[in-house]
């Protein structure tokens, strides 16, 4: 019996999005370079959240000549393609979400440092509340709300 491919279980992440990157870049008049390949190889092995700093050091493990500005610029390109999304932690530092899938915000616990995704219905409640208030259109992908998780308060 063949594997079902409509549903992927949690630890069997669909990594195929990365395969199309060289073609998508060239189609947009951009270029596929060794430096970009290094970063994409690193991202391929990741799921969930990573800081930019960690990505840079992982790249440097593979290519000792890695330069921060190149990595940041490539991350910007990949974000435009929807392959990563960044937010800012409590201290303002960048956190990247790899293969974010459906647009969503994040929760950050100031006590234990763990993160959670805001579930679609909850995100929608936030979007609706602010649309009703001032007609404000929330960019959920960039929302990181800090506070204390269930395990860390009182």
Partner DNA sequence: CGGTCGAACGCAACACGTTGCAATAGCAAT
Partner DNA sequence: ATTGCTATTGCAACGTGTTGCGTTCGACCG
Site residues, a copy of itself (CB under 8 A)? 88, 90, 92-94, 107, 109-110, 116, 118-119, 122, 125-126, 129-130, 132-139, 142-143, 145-150, 153
Q: How many Å apart are CA 60 and CA 75, to the nearest integer? A: 15
Smallest distance, a copy of itself to C-beta of residue 79, A: 13
Q: How many Å apart are CA 132 and CA 129, to the nearest integer? A: 5
Residues of this chain, 110-149, that bind DNA according to CB under 7 A:
none
Q: How many Å apart are CA 96 and CA 52, to the nearest integer? A: 7
DSSP 16: G
Compare residues 23 and 152 and give the one whose CB is closer to Zn ion. Answer: 152
Contact 103, 140 (CB under 8 A): yes
Compare residues 25 and 109 and give the one whose CB is closer to DNA. Answer: 25
Stretch that binds Mn ion, among 28-36, 37-45, 87-95, 120-128 (CB under 5 A): 87-95
Out of 3, 16, 64, 69, the only residue in the binding site for DNA (CB under 7 A) is 69
Contact 66, 24 (CB under 8 A): no
If one asks whether residue 109 binds Zn ion (CB under 5 A), the answer comes out as yes
Out of 2, 29, 135, 151, the only residue in the binding site for DNA (CB under 7 A) is 29
If one asks whether residue 149 binds Zn ion (CB under 5 A), the answer comes out as yes
Stretch that binds DNA, among 40-48, 90-98, 124-132, 144-152 (CB under 7 A): 90-98
Neighbour-count burial for 26-64, b at 16+ CB within 10 Å, e otherwise: eeeeeeeeebbebbbebbbebeebbebeebbebbbeeee
């Amino acid at each position: 019996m063949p594997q079902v491919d409509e549903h992927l279980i949690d630890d069997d992440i669909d990594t195929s999005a990365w395969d199309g990157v060289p073609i998508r870049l060239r189609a947009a008049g951009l270029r596929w370079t060794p430096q970009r390949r290094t970063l994409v190889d690193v991202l391929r092995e990741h799921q969930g959240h990573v800081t930019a700093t960690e990505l840079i050091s992982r790249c440097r493990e593979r290519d000792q000549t890695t330069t921060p500005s190149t990595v940041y610029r490539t991350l910007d390109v990949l974000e435009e393609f929807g392959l990563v999304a960044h937010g800012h932690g409590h201290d303002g530092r960048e956190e990247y979400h790899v293969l974010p899938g459906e647009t969503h915000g994040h929760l950050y616990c100031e006590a234990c440092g763990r993160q959670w995704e805001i579930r679609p219905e909850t995100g929608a409640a936030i979007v609706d509340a602010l649309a009703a208030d001032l007609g404000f259109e929330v960019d959920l992908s960039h929302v990181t709300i800090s506070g204390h998780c269930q395990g860390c308060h009182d």
